[in-house]
Amino acid sequence: MRLLFTCGGTAGHINPAVALARMFQARNERCEVLFVGAKGGMEERLVPKEGFPLETVTISSFRRSLGPAAIRHNLKTLHDLSVSRREADAILDRFQPDLVVGTGGYASYPVVKAAALRGIPTAVHESNAVPGLTTRRLAKVVDRVMVGYEESRAHYERPERVIVTGTPVRGAFFEKTREEARAALGITDDRPLLLSYWGSLGAEVMNGHMTDFLRREAAAGAPFRHIHGAGRNYEAMCQSLADVTLPDGVELREYIYDMPTVMRAADLVLCRAGASTLAEVSALALPAVIVPSPNVTNHHQEHNAAVLGDKGAAVVLPEPTCSGAVLYRTARDLLADPARRRAMSQEMALLGIPDAAEHIYATLIGLIRP
């Protein structure tokens, strides 16, 4: 069996494909996997790190602007499309896949379309609530479209070809119970745990708010436990908080390497609305305060957050109205209200699909010709 996964641009597109590739190889002997991404994309770093071979095509985005720079960029993109078609055909000639699966990113378009034109079984998975341009165009030619939310069906011309599978979540998120996770973190008291972290898009703005948040938390004597992942803003946050002694139970980390354990132990999450993040939160039925990034194409994160917010599973705060004070009051009040968190958790559980990978695996296996 030969499987080709094509994805890239963000970890949210790459991680689901990696999870599926591992599942296929674990269950099928002599299963050969190839990844195809875009030249210059983060997939060039992430996919080889996961141990999978990667080939690339020359492809880039279209910009929604009539400015001179955008026009020049789009003309180059049109040229790259013709190049990527030839590159995709060459990859298919060499690898001869039994199935081609796109999980998002511009590289998916030329590869999946070329495979569909050859009659190779094809599928795409869209993690976001509203499909992007690539998925909308490929939905017309692939054998199956898999989506994360029931609400997503309405955005496709042929909803009968759309299957709600959810978005794959790594098995590590389910290995521990809440009690085991808290014990692993050395938590011995009954204070609830807040987890907060932001993606790279707009993280500097939100981490600026979190600096104020941590000051307020320290002044209040740490009424709850808190782990914050600052990412690339870690040094700047440390400098800004040099005059503050963070109390016991409040941690400022550069990266949260043990995210499955921390998330499992948490009682509330402050986060962006990336599809993979929301899949993890909903799979664990974890109440959330979500601040969608306004810097994402087609307002994907705002649409993703609305699915959870409209059901009462999360509190959604627009970034322009955010501040350290607003975030702190919102988190403090929720952590002091177990009944509301339980209600949010119940709604979140209805949205989560913990066995999404199983649904996707069954769908894809059904496409492979004997």
Q: Encode pLDDT of 283-305 as tens digits.
A: 999 999 999 998 877 788 999 99
DSSP codes, 217-286: HHHTT-SSEEEEE-GGGHHHHHHHTTT--PPTTEEEES--TTHHHHHHH-SEEEE---HHHHHHHHHTT-
Q: Can you name the residues that pair with 101 across neighbouring β-strands?
A: 5, 123
* Residue 314 predicted with pLDDT over 70: yes
Burial class (CB in 10 A: 0-12, 13-18, 19+), 111: buried
Nearest to 43 by CA among 119, 108, 97: 108
Any idea how long the chain is?
A: 370
Phi-psi region of 99 (alpha: psi -120 to 50; beta: other; left: phi over 0): beta
| Token pair in block for residue 73 | 């960029």
Quick count: other Cβ atoms within 10 Å of Cβ 336? 12
Q: Can you name the residues that pair with 144 across neighbouring β-strands?
A: 123
Q: What per-residue confidence (pLDDT) applies to 362?
A: 95
| Token pair in block for residue 231 | 């990412």
What's the whole-number mean pLDDT along residues 10-20? 84
pLDDT digits (tens, 9 = 90+) for 118-153: 999 999 999 888 888 888 889 999 999 999 888 888
CA distance 248 to 370: 59
Query: Contact at 8 Å (CB) between 187 and 294?
Result: no
What's the whole-number mean pLDDT along residues 320-332? 96
Enter the DSSP assignment of 63.
P
pLDDT digits (tens, 9 = 90+) for 30-89: 999 999 998 888 888 889 989 999 999 987 665 555 566 656 655 566 666 678 899 999
pTM: 0.84
Query: Contact at 8 Å (CB) between 332 and 223?
Result: yes
Quick count: other Cβ atoms within 10 Å of Cβ 349? 15
Q: Which of 116-125, 131-140, 335-344, 360-369 has the lowest mean pLDDT?
A: 131-140
Q: What per-residue confidence (pLDDT) applies to 71?
A: 60
Round the average pLDDT of the chain to a whole number and report it: 90
| pLDDT > 90: percent of the chain | 67
Q: In what order do the strands lie in the sheet containing 314-316? A: 250-253, 225-229, 193-197, 268-271, 288-290, 314-316
CA distance 370 to 365: 10
Where are the alpha helices (H) located in the chain, listed in sequence order?
11-27, 43-49, 68-95, 108-117, 133-138, 178-184, 203-219, 234-240, 259-265, 275-283, 300-310, 324-335, 338-351, 356-365
Grouping H, G, I as helix, E, B as strand and the rest as coil, residue 17 is helix
Enter the DSSP assignment of 306.
H
Q: Which residues contact 56 (CB under 8 A, 6 or more apart)?
A: 36, 37, 38, 39, 41, 43, 44, 87, 107
| Token pair in block for residue 234 | 């870690």
Burial class (CB in 10 A: 0-12, 13-18, 19+), 330: middle
